[in-house]
Amino acid sequence: MKTLRIIKIGGNIIDDEDALQFFLEDFSKLEGLKILVHGGGKLATQLAGKMNVEVKMVNGRRITDKHTLDIITMVYAGKINKNIVAKLQAHQCNAIGFTGADGNSIVAEKRPVKTVDYGFAGDILKVNTNTLEILLNKNITPVFCAITHDIQGQLLNTNADTIASELAIAFAEDYKTELYYCFEKNGVLQDVNEDDSVIENINTKTYKTLIEQDIIADGMLPKLDNCFHAVNNNVHKVHIGKPDMLFTSTPHTTIQA
């Protein structure tokens, strides 16, 4: 069974031109099948400010009204995605940029209104791997931004961590999938003020304990929920840490069932 690596990069890499350049140069050298998933960084927020569109956040999540959706589509699927693809081509890594609408690859539904109306935020229903497999077999790397669709002509803003997790799960039946979340920390930390306090292994039992002890909280909770969703659905390996973990034996966090 072939190995497929799904690698997600966050805003800390996207917002730093030098860091992005270094990462993409290294990423292009990774042998084997791979898919890159990226978030949006600060650019959408900056553009919204220039266009006098109010940025509304609830519990760290963006409220995606119609004007905001227009902006993030321009930024995520346009400037950021195509910039990444162009840089990969410069490093002889043949790549194609994707939203979930392209190739009908990721179908989502508009998030139901409960206590908060998140607007055009999408919750993933299905990943279709057919088109992506054709590209992978031709040694072409898909590059996904954080946008999906609902098959009714509506684009939806969708969490990039969730997209990466669902892609890994969808391919797990036919590939040995490995999921990597790359961000600015060395991994999940015992002490957020100590970069070297990496918790190198977390399983379901220790995860609950870490939450109870308030060691894991806030933005790390949804990321780890996506990790455990993946390992509990046949994803072979899940790792969290700096991009260095892809290329060296640097300390990072491994998630286990």
SS (H, E, C) the chain: CCEEEEEEECHHHHCCHHHHHHHHHHHHHCCCEEEEEECCCCHHHHHHHHCCCCCCEECCEECECHHHHHHHHHHHHHHHHHHHHHHHHHCCCCEEEECCCHHHCEEEEECCCCCCCCECEEEEEEECCHHHHHHHHCCCEEEECCEEECCCCCEEECCHHHHHHHHHHHHCCCCEEEEEEECCCCCCECCCCCCCCECCEECHHHHHHHHHCCCCCCCHHHHHHHHHHHHCCCCCEEEEECHHHHCCCCCCEEECC
* CATH code at position 172: 3.40.1160.10
CB contact at 8 A, 43 and 16: no
- Residue 226 falls within a domain, yes or no? no
Question: 182: domain range?
Answer: 3-186
- Residue 240 falls within a domain, yes or no? no
- Residue 22 falls within a domain, yes or no? yes
What number of CA atoms fall less than 13 Å from residue 257's CA on the CB side? Answer: 9
- Residue 15 falls within a domain, yes or no? yes
- Residue 249 falls within a domain, yes or no? no
- Residue 85 falls within a domain, yes or no? yes
What number of CA atoms fall less than 13 Å from residue 123's CA on the CB side? Answer: 6
Q: In what order do the strands lie in the sheet with 33-38?
A: 95-98, 141-144, 33-38, 3-9, 176-182, 237-241, 253-255, 201-202
Mind listing the pLDDT tens digit of every residue in the chain (257 residues)? 999 999 999 988 999 999 999 999 999 999 999 999 999 878 998 999 999 998 888 876 789 999 999 999 999 999 999 999 999 999 999 999 999 999 999 999 999 998 999 999 999 999 999 999 999 999 999 999 999 999 999 999 999 999 999 999 999 999 999 999 999 899 999 988 888 999 999 998 999 999 988 888 777 888 899 999 999 999 999 999 999 999 888 899 999 98
* Encoded tokens for 20: 């992005």
* Cβ atoms within 10 Å, residue 28: 18
- Residue 63 falls within a domain, yes or no? yes
- Residue 176 falls within a domain, yes or no? yes
Q: What is the Cα–Cα distance from 210 to 201, expressed in whole angstroms?
A: 12
Number of domains making up the chain: 1
